[in-house]
Amino acid sequence: MLQNRDRLPTRRAALVACAVAALAPLAARAAQFREITWTELVPAGWDPAKDLQGLSGGAGGLQDTDPRAKELMDKLREIWDNAPTVAAMNGIDAKLPGYLVPLEEGKQGIREFLLVPYFGACIHTPPPPSNQILLGRADKPFTGLRTMEAVWVYGRLEIERAPSSMGVAGYTMRVAKVEKYREK
């Protein structure tokens, strides 16, 4: 009889250990995605305006039909399409909020999309700098979301310049999950 009582704490400990082991993958999965902000994707000190100084005497007073306005816009587009990225972001498992711009959508849902930091980006021109555009690729299409819907996107962040019809992305993500945006 005494032997059975001595085993009781061991059995309890074993049950607790099993429960902890069963829940550990869930906790690890939730913790693996680091919440990041759009400002973290822009290198400190990057100033796209410094490369525009002195070009065509500035933009003040230029008409849209003025060739200098086109020159200024072309230079701006070149600077933004080649915007620098943050090397430390490469390969992290991230969670990022933004607005959804579908690129590849079919009956099964959205498989490829751009994620942008503000409403209307990439739908209107010019698109944001490439370090403010993320190209998401989902292995499994997702449904229930619309163009420019606010979402959270989870996945592995990579530095890769990816041109699309809506703008040049400086980052890509192998998407694990997309969900409607909800504040904490």
**Whole-structure pTM value:** 0.78
Distance (Å) of CA 114 to CA 63, 123, 136, 143, 181: 32, 11, 6, 15, 16
- Percentages helix, strand, coil for the chain (3-state, rounded to 5) are 35, 35, 30
Question: Quick count: other Cβ atoms within 10 Å of Cβ 159?
Answer: 17
Q: Kindly list the domain boundaries of the chain, sorted by start residue.
A: 1-32, 34-180
The closest alpha carbon to 117, from 95, 137, 99, belongs to 99
* Range 34-180: architecture per CATH: Beta Barrel (2.40)
pLDDT band per the 50, 70, 90 thresholds, residue 116? very high
3-state secondary structure of 157: strand
Q: How far apart are CA 50 and CA 80, in angstroms?
A: 12
CB 129 within 8 A of CB 86: no
Compute the distance between CA of residue 55 and CA of residue 66 in angstroms, rounded to an integer. Answer: 13
Name the band, by pLDDT with cuts 50, 70 and 90, for residue 24: very low
Task: Return the higher-pLDDT residue of 3 and 73.
Answer: 73
- The pLDDT value recorded for residue 180 is 96
Tens digit of pLDDT for each residue in 168-184?
999 999 999 999 998 87
Q: How many Å apart are CA 102 and CA 106, to the nearest integer?
A: 10
CB–CB of 100/113 below 8 Å?
yes
- Name the β-bridge partners of 124: 121
